[in-house]
Structure 1
Amino acid sequence: MGVTFRLKNTFRRFLERPGTTVDLRPFEKLLPEIEARGEELADLSDEELTELAGQAKELVEICALGREAGWRALGERAYDVQVLGVLALLGKTVAEMATGEGKTLAAAIAAYGHVVRGFGPVHVITVNDYLARRDAGWMEPVYKLLGLTVGYVTGLSTPAERREAYKQDVTYVSVSEAGFDYLRDQLATDIDDRIQAELGTAIVDEADSILIDEARVPMVLAGTIANEQDPVHTAAALVRALRPKRDYEITDDGRSAAFTSEGLARLEKVLGDIDLYDTEHIAQLSALNVALHAEALLERDVDYIVRNQTVELVDEMRGRVAHRRRWPDGLHAAVEAKEGLNATAEGEVLGTITVQAYVMLYPNLAGMTATAVHVGDELREYYSLEVAVIPSNTPCVREDEEDHIYATNAERDEALIEVIREHHEAGRPVLIGTLDVSASQILHKGLTDAGVPCVVLNAKNDDEEAAIIAEAGTYGAVTVSTQMAGRGVDIRLGGSDQSDRERVAELGGLYVIGSGRHNSRRVDDQLRGRAGRQGDPGGSIFFVSLEDDLVRHHAADSLPAWPKMKFGGLVDDERVTAAVEHAQRVAEGVNHEIHRNTWRYSVVIEQQRKALAERRERLLTTEVAAEMLKARCPEKADEIEDDSLLELGRAIALFHLDRLWAEHLAELAEVREGVHLRALGRVDPLDEFHRSAVPAFNRLIPEIEERTVATFEEMDLDEGWAPERAELIRPSATWTYLVNDNPFGSELDRLISMVGRTMKSRG
């Protein structure tokens, strides 16, 4: 591929996409040197190559060795554009590489480069366990030739397996498992019990998804506490008897709901003529509001599925089950109550960290994805990361058609099924992306009734995803999927064995259809990008309805009253097309603001967590606890051997630090939950949150010392020391989960909106 074409391609993609991107010209100048060095390496034995790999430090040498190792180990020689991707990752940027352009090999070479340059160990952060396991096994021969070791961690890994995996030069691990392991290490009472090695470099796969879409998701380590009666089930039964519009109202954007004055009066009467706004009944009011949101705003087979008598959340961006994820503040229990299930305990929060805060712990950070430029400003704002747009190896010849917009869902679905049927009968493979599980099931029924066989991939069968996606390019195949972002498997024309490649290519290649626009253009681009990989022929189109949530919530005011129409409900009006595009930009802007607003509240908690983590590290690795006891209780401290005092002091101090941090997190949760009420007094909620959070933390350190000294003084050392006798009992069991990003926007915004409307209706 010539340099002229590369520059033209880069320039074209730069013009097509917003935002500032990294200048690739310095990297492109290295390509001839890398090529020349690669020719010299071809004559080396494997042993000689491995020996050289351990000595490399310069970019040219690293890229040439990595390319040669990939060729020998996998039969895959990295293209020039993949090498540009490697250089971008070594330059600590986010590389935007189109689907099918070889990000996995590029990441492996870059990981090797970071290790030999002294920035290891390297964690390749993935979106799920499947990709962590697959990519580690796939790239292991490459790493072996380069003299490196590789491991992986999944949710099924034992502590010993995790510890061993993190000892390797490169570790593949999902972002949630890495975060959970970090949280567990923050409760370790012995250095040898730690799981993770020191954090060096993170290469984040699907960087836009992890760094932006999941950034504000808290990862939680919880401990067993006594089960208390859940008030949400009672509230759910009361709310279920209410009628929409009369007893409660849902906002136009579908993000919040509130009781009307009539609805509140009805509830207060049923509860014994109480005043729900009286201080003693505030817990009941909170439970009723949570139950209302579960009943009115969360939809089965859209936001969650019910499987094996449990509620499983559906990841909006990926259309798959979000394992070990919960909604916060009793909302999850409310959904369980809505579905007639027993409530599962949330437990006492022992430690928490957001995805964004965890990733920022790595001294060196880079990422890769097919869709980064649209979130370039956010990557720059939150992570100081720039985006490098890597050109495709061969020109993309995919034909992207204009959206087909219909007046109603029924008309859209009828036209959609007819188009699928026509392409299927011609033998052209079709991939349809739906917005949720419910839509995929409705489409499946419609296609079945029309005599079109299809395979469905959604949150209910995502374990089969690799096999389903691999065959989506087979002659005559029809595949329905809830989103394609993060699926991680290429669709090859003619099926996985490409036996019918030419026949499918002659028909136009894979035809991708989106049955509705997503709230994010990036998700639509991920779906579209499944066709036309590596210069393959392909096509894409989106079928949109004016009844879609995106249009109703964000474009209702900008739609013309009488749009121009064609036969069958097809809209032929540029004003409508512009309104749909505008709606998507508005939705992206809303999500950006939610991210920013949520992060503002997380900043102070993260600062406090870091400060406490540093203190905990000193307690765990130095003699500071024993020295404190000697200073505060010299006579009693002299009764014990120094080694015993060190062990005893450390155990007591760590227990109280962890205990008080858990109490502090619970206090902050209460502050956060109640701060919206103070906002009604026209004060800044963030200032109010800080006024409570900062002094509470300042009291924490002295309290740790006071409790440590008090426990030590009360102990009877004549009978020997044991944690049980000192009542230093830690939770008997711990578990991890993710708090799902609130589906209605920021919790604070939602509650302010809800209370504001409720107070207005009562007045």
Structure 2
Amino acid sequence: MPALISRMGKRLRRLIERPASIELTRYEALLPAVGELEPDVEKLTDAELTERTAKLREHPQFGDDELVELCALGREAARRALGERTFDVQLLGTLGLLAGHVVQMETGEGKTMAGALAAAGYALQGKRVHVISVNDYLARRDAEWMGPLYRLLGVSANWVEPALTREERRAAYAAEVTYGAVSEIGFDVLRDRLVTRPEDVVQPEPEVAIVDEADSVLVDEARVPLVMAGSVDAAVADVEVANVVRRLRLGLHYETDSDGRNAWLTSAGASVVEKALGGIDLYGDSGSDRLAAVNVALHAHALLTRDVDYLVRDGKVQLINASRGRVAELQRWPDGLQAAVEAKEQLPATDRGEILDSITVQALLARYPQVAGMTGTAVAVAEQLREFYRLEVAVIPPNKPNVREDQPDRIFASPSQKLRAIQAEIRSVHETGRPILVGTQDVAESEELAEKLAKVDLPCVVLNARNDAEEAAIIAEAGTYGAVTVSTQMAGRGTDIRLGGADGKDRERVAELGGLHVIGTARYPSSRLDGQLRGRSGRQGDPGSAVFFASLNDELVLAHAPDVPEGIEADDETGEISDPAAQRQINHAQRVAEGVHLEVHRNTWRYTRLIEHQRRELLDHRSKLLRSELAAETLEKASADRYAELAEALEKDTLVQVCREIMLYHLDELWSDHLAFLTDVRESIHLRALARETPLDEFHRTAIPAFHKIIPEVEERSVKTLDDAEISSDGINLAASGVRRPTSTWTYLVHDNPFDSDFEQTLKQVRSLMRRKKD
């Protein structure tokens, strides 16, 4: 009876402290057996340890005995290969990953090791494993760091990164465990969908995915699909329009909505633009061809900010990935907007492109029969992980209790008063010698704060999208005595901050002073990001503290909860607010922001679910064309005389490949056209709501018949191409027949929200026009 009461009490405590998480009792029960095996395993030579691990390959499914054996051998291999003995909680994390859960482990608790042992466990069961991270740096770092561990366990491991050739990628994916950034693995999937020879495919069929920083990848990144585009020709920006729009002023010539997603001309702004462009009527026949250019130039001018949304570096516009605080390599906005931003910055326009294919992170992960993940903040998104990925959260207790002091938010009436208080806080803490980490919202804020600190003799190190290549060294030294580090987006940086610096020589000195002090310059749009910044302090039971500064005029509040209750008073001298209502308002704004992001995710999935179903159906057909003689058989049947003529002039293998390339070209082209068509449909589908029709249902009614026309149209176009193809002594000239592949590819940054589209901007333009007529 007492044991039953104890178990019930433990379960109740888990539900209260860690809602939406699963029980770990079954896995905790295995840990004593792992400890009992430890003395025997320590006596093994390296060769014997590898040989004993190899025996686990005889079991395609692991039971409790195999799990215990894996943990014991993995712990000893880590001690020998890396000089680190894994804690029981790390082994608990490994077991949670092997059970297919998202494990929540606090910063500094050893997620990388737990993930590596789990990856080895899956590999020993004969499964290919992809360890998916948020960026290329972490993928390579973890693969190299864990390499000796894998070798001792007899498991092959490798990584993929942008610089690799096709052959090197194929070799990396041939390993039992492959590390890679989510974008890199996703784009390899998209590139494989464009190949015309079976031997050019680099990725084998996926089996297991272990997702590092799972909340960032599965939730934050899920709102931005991976989009592959191909070069068509040089883009042309309307420089005249860009010069006109550059002179417009907010509030007078144009307005923006509260969340900064849309901008539209006022009647005064439209008059200025029309006059500057030669007296045209933007909303009439004489100006209709310039309206799109004005809209996109206004978007670039009003909604995209240099050093926040993008950098200008090496004469190029480079996008910043907001969720990571890093430059988004080989990524750009859709054509018109990219050219408009380049015109705004007076740079030459880059190539125009066409979208070839796309995939959401959700669809990418759905390809894997088994998925698991690890992060420091999973409970906050447990419901989303269950809803979108059917994943459960397992909360792993820390190895040592967390003693970090999380101070209450300090709230101010205005951003300028808040900034002065932050400077004062940095000065007072710095004078004690404690290291300080300041988390800012974007590049511009980090550099502004660094300049202000330099003016008052408080030098700091800045980590943002401009210098993310040096991030590991910067973060590693952030715990040094007297260090001040200013960073954008600490989420996913992936490097622990050790007290006393990378070598830890001043650890005791810094610990006695109180450890690392974390300062947030504003609350993030997600409580998870707040938690990830706080979690940089207090790792492994270290002392530390964290405090967030906020203002009732921060972007978060203005965008999501601008109606601040009356009667909130600030201190006349400092502007600080102690009224609890101010804290409630900021918390409310954050909850609204989280709700908006969740709805974007839901809406994205509602619309892309059908597209993904169509894509899978088409890919099955494409795979048959790629890996068999189906294309040749189809064209021989449809155009027997022409096929016979070509069969006399060409070797059979050459003719089969020609037919394959023709049909694959038209299949890919029509799929690209279908995606563009569906985008147009989504941008106007909400008109159906005015007729009391359900937009999603109407989207399906439009999309399904259009999809069923693709394969017949592929055959029809292919026959025409075959009939018109030029034949020379060198064979068939496909390029002259219009069968040309893009010369280069890149990715688009697309915020795929069906309820925030160009159509909404058009409605606002119409409203502006109606206001002009009334005036």
Same-fold status (TM-score > 0.5): yes
Equivalent residue number for residue 203 of structure 2: 196
Equivalent residue number for residue 408 of structure 2: 402
Equivalent residue number for residue 594 of structure 1: 600
Q: Secondary structure at the match of 2:92?
A: helix
Q: Secondary structure at the match of 2:397?
A: coil
What pairs up with 1:454-469 in 2 under 5 angstroms? 454-469=460-475
What pairs up with 1:337-736 in 2 under 5 angstroms? 337-563=343-569, 565=571, 567-637=573-643, 640=647, 643-675=653-685, 684-715=694-725, 721-724=731-734, 727=737, 729-731=739-741, 733-736=743-746
Q: Distance in 2 between matches of 1:312 and 1:151?
A: 29
Q: Report the alpha carbon displacement of residue 131 of structure 1 after superposing the two structures with TM.
A: 0.7
Structure 1 residues 281 and 320, CA gap change in structure 2 (3 angstroms): same
Equivalent residue number for residue 173 of structure 1: 180
Work out whether residues 223 and 752 of structure 2, in 8 Å CA contact, stay in contact via their aligned partners in 1. no
Q: Secondary structure at the match of 1:214?
A: helix
Work out whether residues 744 and 750 of structure 1, in 8 Å CA contact, stay in contact via their aligned partners in 2. no
Q: Secondary structure at the match of 2:732?
A: coil
Q: Distance in 2 between matches of 1:344 and 1:564?
A: 50
Q: Deviations over 1:85-135 (max 9, x none)?
A: 1111111111111110101111110101111223x2111111111111111
Q: From 81, 84, 101, give the equivalent of 1:73.
A: 81
Structure 1 residues 748 and 200, CA gap change in structure 2 (3 angstroms): farther
Q: Distance in 2 between matches of 1:724 and 1:323?
A: 32
State which drifts further: 266-275 or 510-519: 266-275
* RMSD of aligned residue pairs (Cα, Å): 2.7
Q: Distance in 2 between matches of 1:6 and 1:134?
A: 41
Q: Secondary structure at the match of 1:498?
A: coil
Aligned residue identity for 1:264: A
Equivalent residue number for residue 133 of structure 2: 126
Structure 1 residues 238 and 600, CA gap change in structure 2 (3 angstroms): farther
Q: Distance in 2 between matches of 1:496 and 1:12?
A: 37
**Does the alignment pair 1:42 with 2:42?**
yes
Q: Distance in 2 between matches of 1:5 and 1:454?
A: 51
Q: Secondary structure at the match of 1:220?
A: strand
Equivalent residue number for residue 32 of structure 1: 32
Q: Secondary structure at the match of 1:663?
A: helix
State which drifts further: 387-396 or 652-661: 652-661
Structure 1 residues 78 and 696, CA gap change in structure 2 (3 angstroms): same
Q: How many aligned residue pairs are there?
A: 757
Work out whether residues 93 and 366 of structure 1, in 8 Å CA contact, stay in contact via their aligned partners in 2. yes
Equivalent residue number for residue 162 of structure 2: 155
Work out whether residues 124 and 155 of structure 2, in 8 Å CA contact, stay in contact via their aligned partners in 1. no
Equivalent residue number for residue 105 of structure 1: 113
Q: Distance in 2 between matches of 1:254 and 1:565?
A: 31
Work out whether residues 473 and 491 of structure 1, in 8 Å CA contact, stay in contact via their aligned partners in 2. yes
Q: Report the alpha carbon displacement of residue 367 of structure 1 after superposing the two structures with TM.
A: 0.9
Identity %: 52
Q: Distance in 2 between matches of 1:30 and 1:325?
A: 46
Aligned residue identity for 2:677: E
Structure 1 residues 607 and 279, CA gap change in structure 2 (3 angstroms): farther
Q: Distance in 2 between matches of 1:328 and 1:534?
A: 45
State which drifts further: 588-597 or 647-656: 647-656
Work out whether residues 675 and 685 of structure 1, in 8 Å CA contact, stay in contact via their aligned partners in 2. yes
Q: From 291, 294, 299, give the equivalent of 1:285.
A: 291
Structure 1 residues 716 and 405, CA gap change in structure 2 (3 angstroms): closer
Q: Distance in 1 between matches of 2:599 and 2:758?
A: 13
Q: Report the alpha carbon displacement of residue 659 of structure 1 after superposing the two structures with TM.
A: 2.3
Q: Distance in 1 between matches of 2:143 and 2:534?
A: 27
Aligned residue identity for 2:744: T
Structure 1 residues 466 and 102, CA gap change in structure 2 (3 angstroms): same
Equivalent residue number for residue 15 of structure 1: 16
Q: Report the alpha carbon displacement of residue 236 of structure 1 after superposing the two structures with TM.
A: 2.2
Q: Distance in 1 between matches of 2:495 and 2:692?
A: 51
Q: Report the alpha carbon displacement of residue 226 of structure 1 after superposing the two structures with TM.
A: 2.4
Unpaired segments ≥5 residues, structure 1: none
What pairs up with 1:212-291 in 2 under 5 angstroms? 212-231=219-238, 233-278=239-284, 282-291=288-297
Q: Secondary structure at the match of 1:210?
A: helix
Work out whether residues 235 and 335 of structure 2, in 8 Å CA contact, stay in contact via their aligned partners in 1. no
Structure 1 residues 566 and 497, CA gap change in structure 2 (3 angstroms): farther
Equivalent residue number for residue 144 of structure 2: 137
**Does the alignment pair 1:746 with 2:742?**
no
Q: Deviations over 1:120-167 (max 9, x none)?
A: 211111111111111111001111111111111111112121111111
Q: Distance in 1 between matches of 2:427 and 2:9?
A: 39
Q: Deviations over 1:182-225 (max 9, x none)?
A: 11111111111111122111111111111111113222322221
Aligned residue identity for 1:230: A
Q: Distance in 1 between matches of 2:762 and 2:52?
A: 62
State which drifts further: 69-78 or 534-543: 69-78
Work out whether residues 428 and 504 of structure 1, in 8 Å CA contact, stay in contact via their aligned partners in 2. yes
Work out whether residues 202 and 366 of structure 1, in 8 Å CA contact, stay in contact via their aligned partners in 2. yes
Q: Distance in 2 between matches of 1:751 and 1:16?
A: 45
Q: Distance in 2 between matches of 1:360 and 1:99?
A: 28
Q: Report the alpha carbon displacement of residue 692 of structure 1 after superposing the two structures with TM.
A: 3.7
Work out whether residues 726 and 737 of structure 2, in 8 Å CA contact, stay in contact via their aligned partners in 1. no
State which drifts further: 315-324 or 8-17: 8-17
Work out whether residues 258 and 757 of structure 1, in 8 Å CA contact, stay in contact via their aligned partners in 2. no
Work out whether residues 6 and 391 of structure 1, in 8 Å CA contact, stay in contact via their aligned partners in 2. no
Work out whether residues 560 and 576 of structure 1, in 8 Å CA contact, stay in contact via their aligned partners in 2. no
Q: Secondary structure at the match of 1:490?
A: coil
Structure 1 residues 289 and 369, CA gap change in structure 2 (3 angstroms): same
Work out whether residues 568 and 579 of structure 2, in 8 Å CA contact, stay in contact via their aligned partners in 1. no
Equivalent residue number for residue 59 of structure 2: none
State which drifts further: 723-732 or 151-160: 723-732
Work out whether residues 603 and 753 of structure 2, in 8 Å CA contact, stay in contact via their aligned partners in 1. no
Q: Distance in 1 between matches of 2:6 and 2:472?
A: 34
Aligned residue identity for 1:462: D
Q: Report the alpha carbon displacement of residue 675 of structure 1 after superposing the two structures with TM.
A: 4.5
Q: Distance in 2 between matches of 1:437 and 1:213?
A: 19
Q: Report the alpha carbon displacement of residue 453 of structure 1 after superposing the two structures with TM.
A: 1.8
Q: Report the alpha carbon displacement of residue 427 of structure 1 after superposing the two structures with TM.
A: 0.7
Q: Secondary structure at the match of 2:731?
A: coil
Q: Deviations over 1:440-493 (max 9, x none)?
A: 112112211222121111111111111111111111111111121111111110
Q: Secondary structure at the match of 2:255?
A: strand
Q: Distance in 2 between matches of 1:337 and 1:676?
A: 32
Q: Report the alpha carbon displacement of residue 253 of structure 1 after superposing the two structures with TM.
A: 3.1
Q: Report the alpha carbon displacement of residue 500 of structure 1 after superposing the two structures with TM.
A: 0.6
Work out whether residues 721 and 737 of structure 2, in 8 Å CA contact, stay in contact via their aligned partners in 1. no
Work out whether residues 213 and 492 of structure 2, in 8 Å CA contact, stay in contact via their aligned partners in 1. yes
Unpaired segments ≥5 residues, structure 2: 57-61
Q: Report the alpha carbon displacement of residue 732 of structure 1 after superposing the two structures with TM.
A: 5.0
Work out whether residues 427 and 507 of structure 1, in 8 Å CA contact, stay in contact via their aligned partners in 2. yes
Structure 1 residues 566 and 78, CA gap change in structure 2 (3 angstroms): farther
Equivalent residue number for residue 52 of structure 1: 52
